[in-house]
Amino acid sequence: MAQHTDVHVVILAGGIGTRLWPISRRARPKPFQPLLSSRSMLADTYARVAPLTSPARTWVVTGAEFVPLVREQVPGLPEGHVIGEPLRRNSAPAAAMAVARIAREAPDAAVLVTPADSYIGDPAAYRDYVATAAEAAAEGFIVTLGVVPSRPDTGYGYIQRGDRLARPASAYRVARFTEKPDRETAERYLASGGYYWNMGHFIFRAGRFMERCEQYLPEVAAGARRLAATAAPDPDLVEQVYRDLPAISLDYGLAEKTPDMAVVPTALEWSDLGTWRSIKEVAARHRGLDLGGENHVGVLSENCLVLARSGRLVVTVGLEGCVVVDTEDALLIVHEDRAQEVRQALEEIARRGREECL
């Protein structure tokens, strides 16, 4: 399929990545860090979407303090295309801020909203799916990409497909969204087919998105339109608008409410790279687990991911099922089954007043 080059792209780079400490840090969170690649996740994301668009049609929304980092990692975006949020308000306001600007100029333009921290195994196939989704968006749908699940994962949201669309034929109406199901439900989904993991990548016409925003998230729509009225809104105004915005995700705030949702099922290998466990899984498939290279010596160690980033020698003997992340000032050793609990450790670090390590 030919790749469209008329898609506008909004990259959401607001993720904190707490559970990916000590690579993800307050001063340089997950999207700005290399994890499985030599580039940062943001730079990887930009490289993935660049063939679909142009810098003039690309936007990045991030925390205000990270605007310089975005400029450094994605050079060449026009003035005003890196939107710094003074407060975190989740993905719906972040997306709306950029889409409102696009809608002013080109309400019929197709927009792709993508998180900056997805892992996608085959970027070319991804772009083809986006092009398909853009066709459905042209029909007026708000389209999400779904992944055919390969296991009954209880950590992801699921999308149940409904009727097939007339055009394109490989897209479906969304029957229902289900957040993190229990094991039994997830197994049923897997067995019955017609359920997909929700990637959190959306494609729609800019004007249609703003209409739905006005309907379901009127404060968000109003705030976004207000800030989109001038090229460079006054920082005090931005602050004032953000203070009154609800913090709400695109999924909850809009996708689960609007009747015109569609899904393009994909065979993509995808991960939200939310925990060290998920990173270990992706690494195991593609890069091999030993990312320590010359700096890691493993003896009788199995099923471990070692990121040796400090230059020190890391030796593992008889270690199993763990992720080891060695950085200049902090070391993490986490069993994959406890990857969610890295959060607890950060709370303890904060309690001890070791803020410099967070």
Site residues for a copy of itself per CB under 8 A: 21-22, 294, 297, 299-300, 312-320, 322, 324, 326, 328-335, 337-339, 341-342, 344-345, 348-349, 352, 354, 357
CB atoms within 10 A of CB 107: 14
Angle 206-212-217 (CA atoms, 0-180°, nearest 5)? 115
**Tokens 């997830």 sit at which residue?**
186
- Which one, 102 or 334, has the nearer CB to a copy of itself? 334
Nearest distance, CB of residue 356 and a copy of itself, angstroms: 9
The nearest distance, CB 41 to a copy of itself, in angstroms, is 22
Q: Between residues 63 and 274, which has the closer beta carbon with respect to a copy of itself?
A: 274
CA torsion sign for 253, 17, 61, 149 is: negative
**Which one, 67 or 358, has the nearer CB to a copy of itself?**
358
**How many CB atoms neighbour CB 324 within 10 A?**
22
What Rg, from alpha-carbon coordinates, does the chain have? 21
CB of 320 to a copy of itself, least distance (A): 7
**Minimum distance from CB of 152 to a copy of itself (Å)?**
22
CA 168 to chain CA centroid, Å, is 25
Of 65 and 348, CB closest to a copy of itself: 348
* Cβ partners under 8 Å of residue 105, min gap 6: none
Report the nearest approach of a copy of itself to the CB of residue 48 (Å). Answer: 31
Q: How far is the CB of 199 from a copy of itself (least distance, A)?
A: 27
Q: Which is nearer to a copy of itself, 230 or 344 (CB)?
A: 344
Question: Which one, 58 or 316, has the nearer CB to a copy of itself?
Answer: 316
What gap in Å lies between CA 1 and CA 326, rounded to an integer?
Answer: 43
Tokens of 13: 């780079």
Sign of CA dihedral 278, 284, 287, 292: positive
Q: Which secondary-structure segment (H or E) carries 321?
A: none
